[in-house]
Amino acid sequence: MNVQYQYDFFQHVPSIVVSLLNYLIFGLIIYSLYKRKKDKITLWKVVLIAFIGGILFSINLNIFHSFFQIPILPIGVWLLYWICKKRFGKIGWEKYRSFAWAGFYIKFIFIFTSFLIYPIDFLIYPKDELKTFITDIKQPQIIRTIPKVNEVELENSKLVHTVNTFKINELFKDEKWFARTFQSETKMKPIERFPYILVGTKPKFGSNLKTIIYIEKDGKGIFITTKDKHYYFRSDTNIISPVKGGNNHVKK
């Protein structure tokens, strides 16, 4: 019943929303079926039957940024059929049959609802805005990741005030950098373009974004990687300043 996705379910608001929608659909369909039936069956039994009917063997696909299940074998329905026939005979099964199958068929509706997760995510968590990735700056710390650059600290307020001036950008647009880093045969390659990692910030609530945030050498670029995508933001404001005492590790 739960919508699975590549996100941690409880930390991802769009998945939760769609899952609630699924429960609503499930409830409405089962209840209207129940109303139409004249047989004396209790409601909780019907819900349970429909729920078990939804147990199935499925093929799971991950396309169009969405994860969804395509029902193949109605294992729950078979199980119920077997149990009911043993306990109540053929007539007993007739009473519950439609609910068991409803539980199975509702899963096909869920295929369509799972297509909603990505657009909702796209709307509330736009990936072309830095705000989505850096919303909360509580205890920021900058980790220098290569020794050849200065030790710096974050200009907290500057980042807060200029977060909207950071515009999404093409990382490989800097052709000179690209050529010297990846295509030149010489051993003298430019030093790392993003030698700082920013920790201690939080992404927008409910986005479930797991990222590593890098800061460009000149302090005007922010480069963000997730497990399979990267985002590069650029602004005119420098958000870092050198730590006094040069290369010494002053702030710990």
Partner 1 sequence: MLKNKKTIIGLSILLIAFIIIYWFYLSKPTAFYSEARLKKIISNTYEGEYAKEIQDIIFIDQKHVFVPYISKENGYGVSFWKWQHHKWKIVNIIDKAGTPRLWKIKPNDPSSYVMFWNYNPVDQVNKMKFRLIRERNYMMSNENVYYVPEIFLEKRISLHKKTYGFLKYPSKWSKIQKLEAEAGTKQNLFFLQEHGYPSTLSISMTTYDKDGKEVFPEASVNGNDYMVEDELFEYIMYADDKDFIDRDRNY
Q: Which of the ranges 105-113, 116-124, 142-150, 233-241 carries the binding residues for partner 1, by CB under 8 A?
A: 142-150
Indicate the residue among 30 and 130 with the shorter CB distance to partner 1: 130
- Each residue 181-220 as x (binds partner 1 by CB under 8 A) or -, in order, gives xx----xxxxxxxxx-x-x----------xxx-x------
Q: Which residue has the tokens 């769609």?
A: 18
Q: Which of 2, 32, 62, 145 binds partner 1 (CB under 8 A)?
A: 145
Q: How far is the CB of 79 from partner 1 (least distance, A)?
A: 35
Task: Tell me the sheet residues that pair with 196.
Answer: 144, 215
Whether the CA torsion 199, 203, 205, 206 is positive or negative: it is negative
**Is there a contact between 159 and 134 (Cβ–Cβ < 8 Å)?**
yes
Task: Tell me the sheet residues that pair with 242.
Answer: 152
Indicate the residue among 40 and 227 with the shorter CB distance to partner 1: 227
Indicate the residue among 16 and 212 with the shorter CB distance to partner 1: 212
Q: How far is the CB of 181 from partner 1 (least distance, A)?
A: 7
Indicate the residue among 98 and 169 with the shorter CB distance to partner 1: 169
Interface with partner 1 includes 36 (CB under 8 A)? no
C-alpha 225/C-alpha 99 separation (Å) is: 46
Q: How far is the CB of 197 from partner 1 (least distance, A)?
A: 7
Angle between the N-to-C axes of helices 13-36 and 117-124, in degrees from 0 to 180, rounded to the nearest 10: 140
Whether the CA torsion 69, 75, 81, 86 is positive or negative: it is negative
Across the chain, the runs of DSSP E, i.e. the strands, are 57-63, 66-73, 136-144, 152-154, 167-169, 196-202, 212-215, 221-225, 230-234, 240-242
Indicate the residue among 19 and 208 with the shorter CB distance to partner 1: 208
Q: Which of the ranges 31-39, 129-137, 145-153, 154-162 carries the binding residues for partner 1, by CB under 8 A?
A: 145-153
Report in angstroms the alpha-carbon separations of 161 from 65, 138, 148, 237, 240. 33, 15, 29, 10, 13
Tell me how many residues contact partner 1 (CB under 8 A). Answer: 33
Indicate the residue among 87 and 138 with the shorter CB distance to partner 1: 138
User: Integer distance in angstroms from the first to the last C-alpha of the chain?
Assistant: 47
Interface with partner 1 includes 34 (CB under 8 A)? no
What is the binding site for partner 1 (CB under 8 A)? 141, 143, 145-147, 171-172, 180-182, 187-195, 197, 199, 210-212, 214, 223, 225-230, 252
